[in-house]
């Protein structure tokens, strides 16, 4: 008990307060997820943040608050998984944490290394001949990368500016101005060259019967 309140309540209150700090960086994590639970402990977050720095901010190119927000997003993502899977992920994080000991016989934890050293350890872990050892890191890298590169700023650096698509417009240009229903059917829904593995003749006949519906649908789209 501290100041009359149970310690766990104080920890929860601090966690809640910390979560509001990087709120400006949060994109969708504010959407309340179901179920409402968290997975990562304070210690896990320290380790994960160290890994995130090595993965995404080796040269300090990512803002501090962004990494904090990233941890929240990762926690929200994995928390809908089952208890055994979440426990497995936490165990994998423990393996990453003691990787310097496992790989280099150095009695150091990953978070106590410099960013450069962390990169070296994680690279070695990724290429470990022991598949299960490397999977501990690869699993976390997959989760963290999936979440990190969803950020609009990161997508923009890849040239993925928005959901706007050019190919779709190319298709629209192919749809001719409606002259007659029959002409539209021929133009919009040509006989498919192939529509299934070892397709039989009667399927082609069926697709032709469907053509009017396809034409009407494409009108809606246009």
Partner 1 sequence: MTILLGRELTSPMSTSVDVVVIGSGAGGAVVARELARAGRSVIVLEEGGYHPQKEYAALSPSRALSTLAREAGLGLAVPLGDTPVMSVLAGKCVGGSSVLTGGVCFRIPDEVLHDWSTRLELDGLTPDALAPFFAEIERDIEVETVPESMRSRSTELFVEGAAHLGVPMKSLRRNTSGCKGASRCNFGCPNGAKMSVDVSVLPEARKHGATIISDALVEKIDVERGVARGVSGRFLDARTGEPGVAFEIRARVVVVACGSLHTPILLKRSGLTTAHVGRHLTLHPAFRVGALFDERVEGWDGAMQSVYSDHFADEGLTLVGVYTAPSVLAAAFPGVGRAHRRVVKSMPNLAFFGAMLHDDGGGRVMRWLSREPLVTYRMSARDRHRLWKGVGILGELAFAAGAREVMLPIFGADAITSPQQLRALVASPPSTRKVECMSFHPLGSAKMSADPAYGVVKPSGETWSTRNVFVADGSVLPTSIGVNSQLPVMAMALRIARRIAADFELHGRLAAA
Among residue numbers 1 through 30, which ones bind partner 1 (CB under 8 A)?
Answer: 27-28
Binding residue (CB under 8 A) for partner 1 from 158, 177, 179, 180: 158
Per DSSP, which regions of 56-210 are E strands? Answer: none
Site for partner 1 in 122-141 (CB under 8 A): 122-123, 126-128, 131, 134-135, 138-139, 141
**Does residue 49 belong to the site contacting partner 1 (CB under 8 A)?**
no
Interface region with partner 1, contact rule CB under 8 A, candidates 7-15, 98-106, 176-184, 194-202: 194-202
Gap between the Cα atoms of 138 and 125, Å rounded: 9
Query: Should residue 179 be labelled a site residue for partner 1 when binding is judged by CB under 8 A?
Result: no
Residues 6 or more apart whose Cβ sits within 8 Å of residue 216: none
Q: Does 187 bind partner 1 (CB under 8 A)?
A: no
The residue whose two tokens read 């208890």 is 83
46 touching partner 1, by CB under 8 A: no
33 binds partner 1 (CB under 8 A): yes
Measured distance CA(103)–CA(133) in Å, rounded:
10
Question: Is there binding between residue 59 and partner 1 (CB under 8 A)?
Answer: yes
* Whole-number Å distance between alpha carbons of 204 and 192: 7
Among 14, 21, 41, 171, binds partner 1 (CB under 8 A): 171
Return the residue of 8, 17, 174, 179 that touches partner 1, per CB under 8 A. Answer: 174
Distance CA 211, CA 189 (A): 6
CB neighbour list of residue 189: distance below 8 Å, 6 or more residues apart: 207, 210, 211, 214, 215, 218
Kindly report the backbone phi and psi dihedral angles of residue 5, in degrees, each rounded to the nearest multiple of 5, phi listed first.
-105, 145
Q: Which of 2, 60, 105, 159 binds partner 1 (CB under 8 A)?
A: 159
Q: Which residue bears the tokens 């280099």?
A: 104
CB of 69 to partner 1, least distance (A): 13
Among 10, 85, 101, 181, binds partner 1 (CB under 8 A): 85
């Amino acid at each position: 008990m501290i100041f009359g309140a149970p310690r766990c309540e104080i920890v929860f209150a601090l966690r809640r307060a910390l979560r509001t700090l990087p709120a400006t960086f949060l994109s969708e994590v504010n959407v309340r997820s179901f179920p409402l639970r968290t997975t990562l402990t304070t210690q896990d977050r320290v380790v994960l943040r160290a890994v995130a720095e090595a993965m995404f901010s080796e040269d300090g190119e990512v803002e501090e608050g962004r990494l904090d927000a990233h941890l929240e997003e990762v926690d929200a993502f994995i928390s809908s998984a089952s208890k055994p899977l979440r426990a497995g992920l936490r165990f994998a994080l423990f393996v990453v944490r003691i990787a310097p000991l496992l790989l280099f016989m150095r009695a150091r934890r990953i978070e106590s290394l410099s960013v450069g050293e962390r990169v070296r350890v994680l690279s070695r872990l990724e290429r470990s001949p022991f598949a299960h050892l490397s999977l501990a890191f690869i699993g976390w890298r997959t989760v963290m990368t999936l979440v990190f590169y969803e950020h609009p700023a990161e997508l923009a650096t890849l040239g993925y500016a928005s959901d706007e698509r050019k190919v779709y417009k190319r298709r629209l240009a192919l749809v001719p101005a409606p002259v007659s229903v029959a002409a539209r059917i021929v133009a919009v829904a040509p006989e498919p060259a192939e529509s299934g593995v070892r397709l039989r003749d009667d399927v082609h006949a069926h697709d032709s019967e469907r053509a009017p519906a396809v034409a009407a649908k494409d009108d809606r789209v246009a």
